[in-house]
Amino acid sequence: MQKFFFVFSWFLVSAAAVLVGASAYSFYFLAQANGAPSRFEGTQLQKIAAANPANQGDSLLVTTIIESEDARAELVAKFLERHNSPMQPYDYYGRKLVEIADRYHIDFRLLPAIAMQESNLCRNTNPGAPNNCLGFGIHKRGTLDFDSYEAGFERAGRELKAYYIDRGLTTVELIESKYTPSSNGSWASSVNQWMAEMRYDDRQLGRELKDNTSVTEFAKPSP
């Protein structure tokens, strides 16, 4: 009788474990299918499910390659290389742009996305300001230039944080209203596209899955 009791108890415990595991598995994939957002938690960006515009209502599981902070730099470096930026070595500038973003607690994709929109990633800068890749500091007296690409991104990161983000301009469309107020929305649309391209490491998905991006979405948290 005692042996029967132990065998019966073992079957009950095993069945319960299987049910709990199946429930957790189903809950995870249900959350993914309903568009659970990607999040930056410490050093990890998690996979997301995003609606596929080409298939009405279907779900496309989109994953980033990011599993550590260093992989953010890899995404930026691949973006620079894909668009033939003169900012080389690519891995150096990938790391540098992430460092600057972390210093000012902004999304690591924002500065390269603006640079892509303003100068094709430094390929088409003002001849008198070759290190100004962001269309930054343009006024009647001329265009502000810098000693290096890094110095230009540093200045832009600092001022975007202090005079835009800290004053409530926390999406690309809101930044457009001050950064380039004459734009009809095309500037924001393009910057959103480049940020989405880096998010998914895919040019076509950047076009399809762009949205009005929060410029603090993948920012390093303030201390």
What are the residue boundaries of the structural domains of the chain, listed by start?
Answer: 2-61, 69-208
Tens of pLDDT, residue by residue over 1-51, are 544 444 445 444 455 554 444 444 443 333 333 333 333 433 344 433 343
pLDDT of residue 140: 61
Tens of pLDDT, residue by residue over 184-207, are 999 999 999 999 999 999 999 999
Distance between CA 157 and CA 137 in Å, rounded? Answer: 13
Packing angle between helix 69-82 and helix 110-119, nearest 10 degrees?
Answer: 10
pLDDT of residue 47: 37
3-class SS letters over 118-187: HHCCCCCCCCCCCCCCCCCCEECCEECCCCCHHHHHHHHHHHHHHHCHHHCCCEHHHHHHHHCCCCCCHH
Strand, coil or helix: 62: strand
Amino acid occupying residue 111 = L
Tens of pLDDT, residue by residue over 58-115, are 434 444 444 455 689 999 999 999 999 999 999 999 999 999 999 999 999 999 999 9
**pLDDT higher than threshold 60 for residue 53:** no
**pLDDT higher than threshold 50 for residue 159:** yes
Q: What is the DSSP letter of 1?
A: -
Whether the predicted model's global pTM rises above the 0.75 cut = no
CATH T-level topology, domain 69-208: Lysozyme (1.10.530)
- Residue 122 near residue 85 (C-beta atoms within 8 A): yes
- Residue 192 near residue 210 (C-beta atoms within 8 A): yes
Distance between CA 201 and CA 63 in Å, rounded? Answer: 9
Distance between CA 64 and CA 116 in Å, rounded? Answer: 21
